[in-house]
Amino acid sequence: ILVNNVGGSGGGSAGDTSVRIAEVGEEDWDKVIRANLKSTFLCSRKATELMKPLRSGKIVNIASRSARRATDHQGPQYHTSKSAVLGLTRQLARDLAPCGIYVNAVAPGFILSSPRAERRWKERTEEERRVYLADIPLGRLGKPEEVAHAVAFLCSDESNYITGMTIDINGGSFMM
């Protein structure tokens, strides 16, 4: 089992709505692409070297709601890198299925998963929080264990006929 759980947004904070392409330097772009996409590729490549001889394996890539729906809360480098993770997930799933290796992804929305995430949420004004929550049909932010349960499912035998898919964990703020 490999879970590629990496995230980095580079320039600008998650609440900074001013991050636009004109403000993204090439160094920030490369840093985020390396962190979110290249690391996922490299770890997957190494893991498949070990999984192929066993004809068995599970890879779960952690993407983001930002890969599915553009927002003002991250810069273009983050959206692009996480969207590319979904493309990589589908391609690896297709390429590795004959080897008995399943590749899927989860795309969480805003999850209160760390002191940093909690701080970012508290830094928003009451009105900003109200507007954000109004866009989530379930009316609340996600919990880390809700993401963990989806990852555990994708790593289990119960998901043995699922590959190349993304589970969106965002309270309904993106539905496909």
Just list the catalytic residues: 78
Question: Two tokens at 29?
Answer: 């772009």
Report CA-CA distances (Å) from 172 to 14, 60, 118, 122, 169.
20, 21, 21, 22, 8
Residues whose CB falls within 8 Å of the CB of residue 41, separated by 6 or more in sequence, listed in order: 88
Query: Phi and psi dihedrals of 62, rounded to 5?
Result: -95, 115
SS3 category, 147:
helix
* Cβ burial 77-99 (10 Å sphere, 16+ → b, else e): bbbbbbbbbbebbbebbeebeee
State how far the Cα of 54 lies from the Cα of 25, in Å rounded to an integer.
43
